[in-house]
Amino acid sequence: MTSEHAPIDRTKVTFEQAEGLAPLPQQLKAREISSELRAIMWAYIFDELEGHKNTRHRPYHFTTGPWSTILEDFHVLHLYKNADEFSAKISDVYPFIKSIITQSNYGMFFGFLQFVIRHNDCPYDLANAVNEILIKSRSAYRVVEKTIVPIGSDEELSAVIGAFADVHAQKFKGARSHLRQAAEGLSEGRFADSVRDSIHAVEATARVITTKSKLSDALTELEKSAKMHGSMKAGFDRLYGWTSDEKGIRHPLLNEGDANVSEADALFMLGACASFVSLLIAKGRAAGLVEA
């Protein structure tokens, strides 16, 4: 996937991420639009336009129905172009809207969709359909109250990028592998798998630092040697307990379906675990357990 915005700033990401070797979750890739999202969205918008074109009084024109008003208003009120320059001809409308959906940058892409969703003549259930497409394509955005909003924060993104940088050492290759798999699982919609690998990244990191096989023992060791606050340890113990209790996350299900894990759960756990991996390494370095 290629970015729709400025070239990547290599000073703010690891070499692996800059080269595409350490993937970020699709949901955290704000300002990017996948070819999958473009293709599915255009198929839907095309069907919508086809269903409302006027072929009776003025063949191949949008002269009645919701789209005639929406498109002209978009031309005038969003693009700030003169009303007399608007064309309702199919031969003009289709290429123009198709170029927005399939070729434009993320600003124009989402700007058009949000304008349509907020328009008084927006076709019934279009907002829900657009949101379903964003979910299906694992976009970093969702439709909330007629507004397109990001679901992944800059803080979550920074935590993941920072964690990949912190586990670059060979001895942390297990943690790095789990973080990569957690990101891939989130991108592919395997949310329980993503949570499982997120927590495994923490386990792998703690095991390297303390040589303790169990996470609870490793955290107890770090609480003593690295001066980790007891409340922080207890908080992560509870998160760890949730992944152990929720069927299908840390233990496979047999004929019971998928674990009850949402996309929001997986996003939170990846950000939380990435932050905790970085914290453990920092604590380990401060205690002399990890080489600087």
Predicted pLDDT at 22? 55
Q: Rounded distance, CA 13 to CA 3, Å?
A: 15
Q: Hey, what are 226's tokens? A: 């690295």
Predicted pLDDT at 121? 93
Predicted pLDDT at 23? 61
- Encode the chain (292 residues) as per-residue pLDDT tens digits: 333 334 455 555 556 555 555 566 777 776 788 899 999 999 999 999 888 776 555 556 665 678 889 999 999 999 999 999 999 888 898 999 999 999 998 889 999 999 999 999 999 899 999 999 998 888 888 887 788 876 776 677 677 878 888 888 888 999 988 988 888 788 777 888 888 898 889 889 988 888 877 777 877 777 777 677 666 667 676 766 655 554 544 444 333 445 678 888 888 888 888 888 998 888 888 878 777 6
The label of the residue with tokens 């009084």 reads 57
Q: How many angstroms separate the Cα of 7 from the Cα of each of 4, 16, 105, 284?
A: 9, 16, 13, 35
Which DSSP symbol is given to 275? H
Query: What's the predicted TM-score (pTM) here?
Result: 0.61
